[in-house]
Structures are given as structure tokens and as C-alpha cells.
Structure 1
Amino acid sequence: MKRYSVVIGMAIFFVLISTIGCTKKPEHKETVKPQKSSKTVMEKKEEKLQGPVFSMRKIVRGDDVFDRINGHSYKENKEVPLEDLRYLTISHYGFDGEIHVGEMIVNKDVARKVLAIFEKLYEAHYPIERMQLVDDFDADDTKSMEANNTSAFNYRKIAKSNQLSNHSYGRAIDINPLYNPYVYSYGGKLYVEPEKGQKYADRSKDFPYKIERDDVCFRVFSEFGFTWGGDFSNRKDYQHFEIRKP
């Protein structure tokens, strides 16, 4: 009996050993952290929106737009209170022929006119390469122009002067500025801004995206009471449309 007990005991022992050896070890899968989206605010809006959009809203201290512009394109001042500004969302056709959603800040007095203007330009399939807040370019007008960014509000002075630009009041808009540069003389020297737009300063040449008198862009802005910078007598601001205070 003892011999049988020993044999049975050894058999049980080997069964246990083989069972333990066959038990699978838990797998340690590598945790992959979700990557942050590199898409811009406006690209995310494009994904959500169905059809063209032309909307406006107030800018409130502490909201997402205020946080983007505060201390950059917007600075505390006596001339332009925050309450006078409106944030616009605008559908437009890009240089790629696709529909994009842009953004712009203008004065509340002209906000509805601006929306109507861009709705007409949208219907005409007028191409605008990009339309972002100038704050995406550090509120630097030169950087914004070099990127061919269509924009409006930016609290700043006119180049080579101490006078506030109409952009400071949200009453001026620059359209495709790289192809429609600002040309002026100062101290006997001719300036072209942005410098990268020098080859587009000669308006006798034909090239795409050029704003001209009586083209659709000029006609639509004029219809709503805006003046074109290409008609200025002492300088030529081909990208620029403005409407002064009544």
C-alpha cells in the first residue's frame, strides 16, 4: 500500500508541475497614448458644419476668442472697447477650389455688411487662400500678409506713422494681401508690403488673385459702401477695403 501511495503521490506532483508550466503568463500590452490633433480650430469646425455658414457673435472676456486675442491683436484702449467687436465665422472658397470656414473680427457697426459681402463672394466662388485671425501670426501684420491671410481687426498703427489704422477699429479688411500688396513712398524710398509681394506691385501685369477696379471683389465691397485702397491718391493699398465712421 505504501508503494502505491508513493506512486500516486508522485503522479499528482508531476501533473501539478506540468499544469503550472503550461499556464500562460499575462501579456503586458504597450499603452499607446492618443495623439493630440494637429488640426486648427477652423479645420475642426469645417468637419462639423454642413453647408455654408455666415454667423457672428459677441466676444466676451474669458471666452475662447478673447483668450486668443487679448494682449495680441486686442489691447486695452480707450478708442476701441471690446464690446464694439464681433467675431465672424465665414464660408469661402480656397485656392484649391474647396469650401473652407474662415474667421474674422470686425466692428459691430459693419458686421452684417461684412457677412453679406462674403456671402456674395462665396456665391461667386471668389477664391480666398486663407482667413484666420491675425493672432495666428503673432498679431504681426507682415507675417499675416506673407502668408496671404485675409484678415480685418488688428489694433495697430499705419506703417511709418503714429496714426491708428482703420484695422484698429475693425472697419478695414485685407483680401489676399500677398497678391495685392501695399505700395507707398516714405523718405523718398518706395516700399512694398509684404516684400514677398514685390512682383505683384506692377498692376499692369496679369496674374491670378489680383484685385482690380470693377472685378467682382471690388464691385461687392463698393456695393456696401467700402472704399478700395487701390484708389488712394498718395499710396496704393491694393488688398485693402475700408469703411470709415459715419
Structure 2
Amino acid sequence: MDSTISSEDFYISEITDELFDRMKGKSYKDDCNVPREDLRYIHILHKNLEGNTCEGEMVCHKIIAQDLLEIFEELYLNDYPIERMVLIDEYGADDETSMTANNSSCFNYRVISHTTKISKHGLGIAVDINPLYNPYTKIVDGTRIVEPAAGEPYLDREADFPYKIDEDDLCYKLFIEHGFEWGGSWTSAKDYQHFEMPDSVADELRAIY
């Protein structure tokens, strides 16, 4: 491991009682079917756009924890800019608020709209990176939906702006190498911030839970 990487800065742990108290009723809803024991807390360092070192934290499913640690170590060593990475519970587990703050996150329990299926964020196997600058967008009944709404100026993916993820981006390359799929490659919608494990992995977990 590179000498600039310390196990005190980059590590994985189980969900402590103290951490669980921060999550209960927020990202870990009362009806959450994912056992606390299957989740992991990861602590990392990341650089912001100014090159300053920041502490980062994220909750994810245990099956991707090591992958995320390796990805974020590599991003840090390459000075890849991530503006903010705090638990989504700091925003009351509200996606729009967290995304507008350009907060990178993973686990947030919910089911897919109009279904009883746990979403990939709800399973802790989907990660959003620098979401303000890499919004989700879809045309619904002739109207363009943009999430977060403040991300609309960044729908022009030919433009040059900070934090932009595309297929030449190191973040994209690392997530793909680790078996994730990118929402920016979707056809019916675009989710430029979003990296997720394949449907087959999600279906296996849903069958358990």
C-alpha cells in the first residue's frame, strides 16, 4: 500500500451502536429489511477541487465495501476531486437536499416507486458521486425531470466543468473495473452520478431479504 495511505484513514468497520443511532429513522427506516449486520461503514480521505484533504464516510452493503475502499484510495492518490462525502443522514436522508449539496453517498433504504422491490441504494449497492454536477434526468410525459433540480445547468455533457463524470474519467474507469455499471450509459434515462452493481446481484439480495 502506498505510504500516503494509512489504515487509520482508510478502513471498513461494522455499524456501531453510535453510528446506528445516527441512521435510525433516517437512512435506516423503520421498515428496513436489510439487516444492520450486512451493512458496513467505510472511512476514507478525499481531495476537493482546491486540493484540500477532507474526511469522507459512507455506509454500504458488505459485499462492495472492499471495492469502494480500493476505489476511493486510488481516487485519493490521484487527487481526484470529490467535494463532499458525509452520511446522507446529515441531510435527514433526503436525496434532493444531499444531491444539491453535491454530497456523495450510498446506502439510503427505500423501495422502487410503485413497487415493493428494494432499490439498489436501499440495498447499499449503488453509489452517487458528485451528484450536483452529474444529475439524473429523464423525460416523463413530455416533461424533463432533473434530480437534483439545481443540476440542470450540467445536463450539457459536452461542456467543460468541474466534477464531471464521463467515460474518460478515472472515477468511471475504476468503478467499471470493479464490476459496477454506470447510469450515464442508460438509454431510457441518464444518471451521470450513479454507479451500481448489476441486477443479478440485486435480485440475489432481494431474494434473501
Q: Could you say which TM-score interval applies, normalised by the shorter chain?
A: 0.7 to 0.9
Query: Which has the greater radius of gyration?
Result: 1
Q: Percent identity?
A: 50
Match of 2:75 among 116, 121, 125: 121
**Normalization by structure 1: what TM-score?**
0.75
Aligned partners of 2:81 and 2:163 also within 8 Å: yes
| In structure 1, distance between residues paired with 2:38 and 2:135 | 28
2:23 maps to 1:58 = no
Question: Over residues 11-62 of structure 1, what are the superposed CA-to-partner deviations in whole Å (9 max), with x where a residue is unaligned?
Answer: xxxxxxxxxxxxxxxxxxxxxxxxxxxxxxxxxxxxxxx79721111114xx
Farther-moved stretch of structure 1 (197-206 vs 73-82): 73-82
Unaligned runs of 5+ residues in structure 2 are: 1-5, 205-209
Q: The residue matched to 1:110 in structure 2 has which SS?
A: helix
Q: The residue matched to 1:184 in structure 2 has which SS?
A: strand
Where do 1:85-164 residues align within 5 Å?
85-158=39-112, 161-162=114-115, 163-164=117-118
| In structure 2, distance between residues paired with 1:180 and 1:169 | 22
Question: Over residues 138-157 of structure 1, what are the superposed CA-to-partner deviations in whole Å (9 max), with x where a residue is unaligned?
Answer: 10000000000000000124
Q: The residue matched to 1:92 in structure 2 has which SS?
A: strand
Question: Over residues 93-152 of structure 1, what are the superposed CA-to-partner deviations in whole Å (9 max), with x where a residue is unaligned?
Answer: 112211111100000011001100101111111000010000000100000000000000
Structure 1 residue 78: Cα displacement = 6.1
Aligned partners of 1:59 and 1:83 also within 8 Å: yes
State the aligned residue count.
195
Structure 1 residue 164: Cα displacement = 3.3
2:29 maps to 1:75 = yes
Match of 2:177 among 223, 230, 235: 223
| In structure 1, distance between residues paired with 2:103 and 2:194 | 12
Match of 1:214 among 161, 164, 168: 168
The answer for the alignment partner of 1:236 in structure 2 is 190
Aligned partners of 1:52 and 1:91 also within 8 Å: no
**Runs of 4+ with >2 A deviation:** 76-79, 160-165
Counterpart residue type for residue 191 of structure 2: D
Counterpart residue type for residue 9 of structure 2: V
Unaligned runs of 5+ residues in structure 1 are: 1-49
The answer for the alignment partner of 2:3 in structure 1 is none
**Normalization by structure 2: what TM-score?**
0.87
RMSD over equivalenced CA pairs, Å: 1.9
Q: The residue matched to 1:56 in structure 2 has which SS?
A: strand
